[in-house]
Structure 1
Amino acid sequence: MTYEQAFEYVGSFTKSGTPVKDLIRFVILMRLLGNPQNELKIVHVAGTNGKGSVCEYISNAVKADNKSVGKFTSPYIECIEERIQVNGKYISRPAFALLCEQVKNAVEQTGFDGFSQFEILCAIALLYFYKEQVNVAVIETGIGGLLDCTNVVNPAVSVITSVDFDHTDVLGDTLTEIARHKAGIIKPSVPCIVYPGQAKEVMRVIDDKCREYNCEEIIPDMSRVQMLHMDITDVFFSYKGMNYHLVMSGEHQIKNALCAIEACRILNIEYSSVFTGLERSALRARMEEVSVNGAVCIIDGSHNPSAMRAAEKLLSCDKRKIHAVVGMMANKDWQTALKIILPRFEDVIFVDGFMPGCVPASQLTRFAIEQGVRATACGDLNSAISQATLKAGTKDIAMVTGSLYLASAAEKIISK
């Protein structure tokens, strides 16, 4: 199988696959592949927002501690191989093709139809990490946790990041229902780290599950945090008397980092390695600052109300005007998200066409105008970015936000 054939094979499956009520089809697939996940030391990460950041922090800390680390995350910004990494390097195309062929052969033996792209990629990732003999594998859930295919793993530590409303069509439309899915990754006697400041109904579900499974529940102590400095590009803080520096800024990133710090404590990672790993962690499209024609442009993949709230709070640290390019997906609560972020913008150019299922730019524009915001629609993302950066000049900020898919499309335009 060539890389092109492998890429086409993965693309032949739908993103979500046939809905499941249990994990049996993936359990059988992994059994046919030799259950490589059972030979790995795993950190399992679930949550609504912050999963990617926590995975990045932990992975870089493990790497800085001179241990090999695998990382499986989603979605991707640049290429599909980005989702499967060892020591910060994407899986090679030949390795991807070879392992995809093995997974394809196993899929044909399962007798099941309806696998998802995510299941195929997860199987490739677990095989790859086993073959590379990584010391630690950091695995991010796709949607939820309870019925997510990654839940076949037996982790050394589980992490539940911020839980909020998203994917309500699958997970339910109450925080209690959503929390039950996220808490589904909790395993008997396995330490569980929980993002601080969760809603009461979320904590009630997680607390009950940890008691039921006799798990050590670890919630970072915010009273032990001291803010030293924060702006939109980085943050310095101390936790339990030890100093840390992040280049992904915001109070939400401090909380994400605390989850990673506690996970690294369980993994016996040295403080110096944790400091280095956190400082080196930077994800594409997470309040990422780039230069476009001399203007400062922030690319951010915030796509739901919770993420927009965190972005708005961070942007309030900067008094410069923001000229935004925004596009959103129809399956998100885009109305609530926009109500949160729109007041921070000087003006907005709405776009669509960057992904099937996005909200028409004309509809977004009408909504924004009703909110009293200066807004226009543009049919071309390249033109929209050019307009926003021209308005920003050297004194203001241009920003692209609303969807990771939009952020990915913007990255490709800007990098040309």
Structure 2
Amino acid sequence: MTYQETLDYMFTQLPMYQRTGKAAYKADLDNTLAMDSYFNHPHKKFKSVHVAGTNGKGSVSHSIASVLQKSGLKVGLYTSPHLRDFRERIKINGEVISESAVIDFIANHKEKFEELKPSFFEMTVALAFEYFAKEEVDIAVIEVGLGGRLDSTNIITPLVSVITNISKDHTNLLGNDIATIAKEKGGIIKPGIPVVVGERQELIEDVFKSIAQERGSDIEFSEDCYQLKNAVIKAGRQELDFVSVKDEGKFKIECDLLGKYQQKNIRTAICAIDQLRKKGIDISDENLRSGLSEIVKETGLLGRWQILQEEPKVICDTGHNAAGIREIIEQIGMTDYRKLHVVFGLVDDKNTDEVLSLMPKEAVYYFTRASIPRALDEMKLKELANAYDLQGKTYPSVEEALCAAKQESEKEDLIFVGGSTFVVAEVV
């Protein structure tokens, strides 16, 4: 099979959560464990870092990977979903897996896949672990796909576990209240393995403490390690001044991630790096600063407050649940512009009311849909949005919506593209 034929097989023969939603989610690790045995436990052949959470886990994963790369290590990075190409999910030192490696993996093991009938995600995790083992990476940063306890990545025993934050997302699978979701995410905490929690959240702090105590794991909350004293975004950089809570030492980080919400993610990544140092990973202060200054360059991270063009300024962001949208709206409010245009699409299994209630009413909307089965119909989205006094026209594709927004904008305007990861995927 060609690469495209291989992808077609993967996307159509096997359930894929990003495309079909709940039908692709498997609430057990049976297939994952069966495939892990079949491939002779590849995850045991490299060190790892495990990253879970509702928002920010992708940014934290890329940040840690960038620092490790700058430390001279051969670093695997597994994340999801992809934006432009499936191969973005599996990288070594910022380079995506080759097309031939994907083709060969499917061709050589297709018979086993058709016997086990794994989900798209289960198969992709097996591919990543097998690839990292074969290429002899020193360490791999592994992002949880969905949840934690029953996620296919949760067979690893990492050097450190990281949980960025918890908010309501995928409630149809993980639970309707934040404490239940936290228990699922906390399922990545392993006996005796330290865990870093990115945000201290009153409603769920004790959930993580309880799991950590039960499993004999040291737990740190990032704000107990570092305090952010000042932050400035200018000239395509974000300058962050941190102070160590333990020794009051000051240090400055220049970061190429421009989202204000990245401040928490960078602090979380720094705490995880501290834990890796304690485990004997050689990471200098210069490696830390250099890695955090070139995350996009080193890892190829896309879609996080990404500026696509100037005059008019076009910015996209993959934030897609209420907590993520709230952060985006806050940063839009800090941005200078004459008029706001929003190219907007959602998937049909989200809490649309909660998201729509947060969107600015003064903007002009271009309601659209991404080209995936889960996308919410643009006409239905407009109808739902009108109830929140959000006004605009509908467009059958993201490309047409963005084109219309550009045509109707003046150079001092701001065009924001988002609502769904898959809308952003069509513009980056």
TM superposition score normalised by structure 2: 0.89
Q: Give the aligned residue type for 1:10.
A: M
Matched, 1:254 2:258: no
Bigger mean CA deviation after superposition, 317-326 or 363-372: 363-372
Check the 8 A contact 1:328/1:358 in 2, yes or no: yes
Check the 8 A contact 2:200/2:223 in 1, yes or no: no
After TM superposition, give the deviation of residue 250 of structure 1 in Å: 3.5
Equivalent position of 2:291 in the other structure:
277
Aligned residue runs from structure 1 range 328-407, under 5 A: 328-343=346-361, 345-352=362-369, 354-407=371-424
What do the CA deviations read for 1:176-212 (whole angstroms, capped 9, x no partner)? 11111100000011010101232x2322211110111
Change in 2 beyond 3 A, CA 1:232/1:141: farther
Aligned residue runs from structure 1 range 22-61, under 5 A: 22-61=28-67
Aligned residue runs from structure 1 range 86-235, under 5 A: 86-107=92-113, 112-113=116-117, 115-198=118-201, 200-221=202-223, 224-230=227-233, 234-235=237-238
Equivalent position of 2:427 in the other structure:
410
Change in 2 beyond 3 A, CA 1:179/1:232: farther
Check the 8 A contact 1:227/1:237 in 2, yes or no: yes
Change in 2 beyond 3 A, CA 1:244/1:126: same
After TM superposition, give the deviation of residue 99 of structure 1 in Å: 2.5
Select 2:342's aligned residue among 304, 317, 324.
324
Q: Give the aligned residue type for 1:107.
A: F
Change in 2 beyond 3 A, CA 1:36/1:233: same
Equivalent position of 2:280 in the other structure:
none
Distance of 2:82 and 2:92 partners within structure 1 = 15
After TM superposition, give the deviation of residue 18 of structure 1 in Å: 5.9
Bigger mean CA deviation after superposition, 95-104 or 153-162: 95-104
After TM superposition, give the deviation of residue 172 of structure 1 in Å: 0.8
After TM superposition, give the deviation of residue 354 of structure 1 in Å: 2.5
Distance of 2:235 and 2:323 partners within structure 1 = 18
Structure 1 residue matching 2:157: 3-state secondary structure:
coil
Structure 1 residue matching 2:266: 3-state secondary structure:
helix
Distance of 1:47 and 1:252 partners within structure 2 = 14
Distance of 1:251 and 1:386 partners within structure 2 = 27
Bigger mean CA deviation after superposition, 12-21 or 328-337: 12-21
Q: Structure 1: give runs of 5+ residues left out of the alignment.
A: 412-416
Equivalent position of 1:414 in the other structure:
none
Change in 2 beyond 3 A, CA 1:5/1:367: closer
- RMSD (Å), alpha carbons: 2.0
Q: Give the aligned residue type for 2:358.
A: I
After TM superposition, give the deviation of residue 243 of structure 1 in Å: 0.8
Equivalent position of 1:243 in the other structure:
252
Distance of 2:427 and 2:329 partners within structure 1 = 20
Check the 8 A contact 1:60/1:278 in 2, yes or no: yes
Q: Give the aligned residue type for 2:289.
A: F
Bigger mean CA deviation after superposition, 140-149 or 386-395: 386-395
TM superposition score normalised by structure 1: 0.92
Structure 2 residue matching 1:376: 3-state secondary structure:
strand
Aligned-residue identity in percent? 28
Distance of 2:410 and 2:124 partners within structure 1 = 42
After TM superposition, give the deviation of residue 57 of structure 1 in Å: 0.3
Equivalent position of 2:84 in the other structure:
78
Q: Structure 2: give runs of 5+ residues left out of the alignment.
A: 18-22, 245-249, 278-282
